[in-house]
Every structure is written in structure tokens, then in C-alpha cells.
Structure 1
Amino acid sequence: MDKRTSSHDRVIAQRQTEGWMFLAEALRDLRTTGAVAPSGKALARALTEPVLAQSAYPLAVLEAGAGTGPVTRALIPQLSRGSRLDIVEANPRFARRLNKIVAAHPSLMGPAGRALVHQSLVEEFETPHLYDVIVSGLPLTNFAPDQVERIMNRFMQLLHPGGTLTYFAYLGTRRARSLTASRSESRRHAAVDEVMAGFQRTYAVKRSTVWANLPPAHVWHLQRPLVPADAPLAPRPEEARR
């Protein structure tokens, strides 16, 4: 067996292990896991596109809701030396696995760059840092509307001006829920959609569709403005001299 075959077999075994682990957590609590399978490679590429576009520079990146780490593994090779990666994951079993992924990539460790896993809810995550890119794998459509609003506001607070938030939403979830959910659950889902639509109208700069994922998903890019919309205008030079 050559090295390439051995490496390929290890990757297949790793994906199978992660798939079963993800399924077990979904069966334990589908509301917070959000799916029955990890994000596919095409979805991971779309979510990390803003990182790849700036990969020549050291970046500060936050990944929220990393799960078993399929997007984490796509992120790490794109980060230049000196970058910072903070990974926030509330599930303790997922967090332990993410620590193993980070430990296997020592290039990010040390004084020039850091990669840290934080077991926490993202809305409770405290940090002095701002981020160039935030990548979210959180199943927002499964949460209460007020929690979604807190999470999205926290994301925008944590971005540098001009920074980008990426997240995904599975296609067809509203129709599927309308066929199976209770009336109160349908109202909750509609309220979450309304919260997300407000953020999209204010901050969205791009939406793409990833068909090569199970299930297919929209990927949204939201950008924190360089200048707040309600910021006062700077005085004209002649006014400043008065």
C-alpha cells in the first residue's frame, strides 16, 4: 500500500467517523445540531470564500458552531502564518474533537498566530478581539427569534468595519416545516425568517446557492459597513475652520 492510498483511506475513515458522530448528536438534540450530516466540501468552500480571497494576509477569523470540523479543516490551510482562529462550539463532544483538529496543525500555534477552541454559546462568547471574517455553521432556523437576533447582533459587533460574516440556510426548510410542524412552530420559524431578512436587507453583499450539498443551501455574505449608516457626516473643511 503506497502513501497516497493510506492517506486516502484515513480521510475516508475520518469522514465516516465524523458522520456517525454528527448523526449521534443530531439524534440526541436535532434542535441544536441542525442537520443529520456534516457540511459537505462544496458548502465549506463557499463559506470560507472570504478567507481564501484574503489568504495572502494574516487574518483574524471566528468560526461559530463548528460541529465535527469540516469547515475548520477547510479554513486552516487558507490561513497565512500569523493569523488568529477562534472556534466557538457549545457541544462539549464536538469541542473535544475540534481541539484534536487544531492540535494537528501546529503552524497556527505560537506567538505569531493562534488557534483556540472555546466551548461556549456564541452570544455568551467574550473576547477583546474583532474579526476580519466570521464563519457561522449555527442552525439559526432552529432557535427562538430573540436568540437569533442576539446572535446576529453579536456577530456584527465582533466584525471589523468592512469585515464579512458568512452563514448558510438550507433550501426548502420553510415548506418542509409547514407540512409537518405545529402552528406555534411554524410561527416561530416565520419569525426567525423575518429577523434574518432584516439583517440581509441591511448588510447582505452576496448570496450563492450550493447545490452539491445534502441538502442544498444558500450561502449568505453580510458585511459590516465601514461607516455606520447613522454616523454624523464629517464637517466640510471650510466649516471646520469656523
Structure 2
Amino acid sequence: MEKWTTSHDRVLAQRHAEGWMFLIEAARDLRTTGAIAPSGTALARALTDPVAAQSPHPLTVLEAGAGTGAVTRALLPRLSRGSRLDIVEANPRFAARLRDLVAGHPSLVGRSGQVTVHQTYAEELDTAQRYDVIVSGLPLTNFAPAQVERIMARYLELLHPGGTLTYFAYVGTRRARALTASRTESRRHAAVDEVMASYQRTYATGRWTVWANLPPAHVWHLQRPLVRGDLPEQQCDRARR
């Protein structure tokens, strides 16, 4: 009982520290942090389900916008041997924390070369690698519509044909912004929603609602078609702008 309590207390202390770190980074730049709390356990598991579903096959996985590592910790134990994980995080303080997490994680004992942390923006990741699964934690609704187009186009480019992109969006954000945001901000948010809706109409394979998260969130799965040259022409045009 004492051992369980110590472990439980350690987890609570870690989550408390991450919560404060998120608050500090959100105060610095809410646009890139995108939340005031890390993803909860239920949301993290829902986001990483496509990885678990393909186990035990070796996979190439990209996690974008990893933050303090709430989803990363759910992802690492689900990686089968022979898999590769690239973690992308633009915030230098978060990136440093992620490197510490990877260096000390028990699931990676003897497999340290399996995971790499890249301090960069997802759309600027310089790699020839293609991925079976991309897990995105980026706050897309905080970005300009043109930037969202670039990110989504890059995600599809980075996926293997048949690969899965999984991401989340908080429930009720559009209604909340309509009540509290300026007219300009409301128009920007609506434009981003339309960009995402166009990708959902073309590529979505499922949507789930995770109520056991604060705030609740929708988890989307999008799949790149098996045929190459799959981006609709109008989306390619918009992504080049």
C-alpha cells in the first residue's frame, strides 16, 4: 500500500507541475500553447488508439505539438519493437522536458534511438520519412486559416498512403468564442472550422467524443487514400498560398 501511495503521489505531483507549466506557457503565448491544461488520460488514449490498433507491427509515428508529454506518455508504451517515433514541439521549454521524458522512460530501455525529439514547427519538419500514424496535439483553432491549410497539407504529405492522422478539437469552442471574442476573431475561428470541415468531408473515417476530459473533446481520425495524388486540387491551391 505504501509503495502504491508513493507512486500515486508521484503521478499527482507530476500532473500538478505540468498544469502549472501549461499555465505559464499559455500566459506567454496562448496561440502556440493552445490550452491551459495537458490532455487527460482518456483523451491521450483515444488519440493513440490507431497506434495500439496496429500493434505488434513496427510503425513509423509522428507526434506533433507534444507539449509537456501527456499524450507522449500514453504513446510510448504502445510502440511495438522496431517502431520509430518522431516528436515535434516548437516550444523550447516543452522540447527540453520531452527529451528528459524520453531519456528516462522505462518503455525505452535499450531502445533510446527509437524516439527523436525535434524542436521545430510541424509544417517545417525537414524529413524524408513517411508515417503510418500522425498524432496531432496542435491548437489548430488558434491559428490563421492559411497556416492551418499548410499544416494539414503537410500532414497528408507526411502520411503513407493508407496512413492515419488523429487529432482533437474541444467541444463547444465555436459557440464560446461567438459569445466572448471580437468579430474579427470569430470570423477567423469560423474560417478555420471551414478549413477543417473540408478535410473532414474528404478524409474522415471516424469521430469520437471524449467526455472524460477538461474540457470535453472530439477526436477525429483522417486517412490518406491509398492512391497517390490524393489532395483535392482546390486544397493544393490553398495550401500553396
Q: What is the TM-score normalised by the length of structure 1? A: 0.91
Letter in 1 for 2:124: E
Counterpart contact for 1:83–1:113, Cα < 8 Å? no
CA distance in 1, matches of 2:125, 2:209: 30
Distance in 1 of aligned mates of 2:109 and 2:187: 45
What amino acid sits opposite 2:224 in the alignment?
A: R
Aligned-pair CA distance for 1:183? 1.2
1:107 is displaced (CA, Å) by 5.1
Secondary structure, in 3 states, of the residue corresponding to 1:81?
A: coil
Task: Establish whether residue 16 from structure 1 lines up as the match of residue 29 from structure 2.
Answer: no
Q: Decide whether the 8 Å contact of 1:81 with 1:107 is kept in 2.
A: no
- Once the two structures are superposed, what CA deviation does each residue of 1:16-71 show, in whole Å capped at 9, x if it has no partner? 11111111111111111111100000100110010010121111100000001000
Which stretch of the first structure deviates more once superposed, 104-113 or 1-10?
Answer: 104-113
Partner of 1:146: 146
Corresponding residue SS for 1:200: helix
Task: Indicate if the aligned counterparts of 2:167 and 2:221 stay in contact, CA closer than 8 A.
Answer: yes
Match of 1:163 in 2: 163
Q: Distance in 1 between matches of 2:9 and 2:58?
A: 33
- How many corresponding residue pairs? 231
Seq. identity, %: 77
State the distance in 2 between where 1:13 and 1:138 align: 25
1:217 paired residue number: 217
| 1:230 Cα deviation from its structure 2 partner | 6.2
User: Which blocks of at least 5 consecutive residues in structure 2 are unaligned?
Assistant: 232-241
The amino acid that maps onto 2:225 is P
Structure-2 separation of matches of 1:27 and 1:111: 36
Structural RMSD (CA): 1.7
Distance 1:107 1:68 in 2: 18
Larger Rg: 1
Corresponding letter in the other structure for 1:137 = G
Q: Displacement of 1:81 after TM fit?
A: 1.2
SS at match of 1:38: coil
Distance in 2 between the 1:35 and 1:112 partners? 30
Equivalent residue letter for 1:190: A
- Residue identity in the other structure for 1:65: G
Counterpart check, 1:172 vs 2:172: yes
Higher helix share: 2
Give the whole-Å Cα distance in 2 for the aligned partners of 1:17 and 1:165. 29
Q: Which residue of 2 is the match for residue 57 of structure 1?
A: 57
The code of the aligned residue for 1:206 comes to G
What do residues 77-104 of structure 1 show as CA deviations (whole Å, max 9, x unaligned)?
Answer: 0001111010000000000000011101
The yes-or-no answer on 1:114 pairing with 2:119 is: no
- Alpha-carbon spacing, 1:24–1:227, altered in 2? closer, same or farther (3 Å): same
- In 2: Cα distance, 1:111 partner to 1:97 partner: 19
Moved more, 207-216 or 221-230: 221-230
| Cα distance in 2, alignment partners of residues 5 and 120 from structure 1 | 38
Distance 1:218 1:202 in 2: 18
1:48 is paired with a residue whose SS is helix
Contact 1:208 1:218 in 2 (8 A): yes
Structure 1's unaligned 5+ residue stretches are 232-242
**Matched residue, 1:235:** none
How far residue 2 of structure 1 moved from its aligned partner, in angstroms, is 3.1
Matches within 5 A, 1:196-207: 196-207=196-207
Q: Deviations over 1:113-136 (max 9, x none)?
A: 510100001111111110010000
Structure 2 CA distance, aligned partners of 1:106 and 1:83?
16
1 CA distance for matches of 2:152 and 2:27? 26
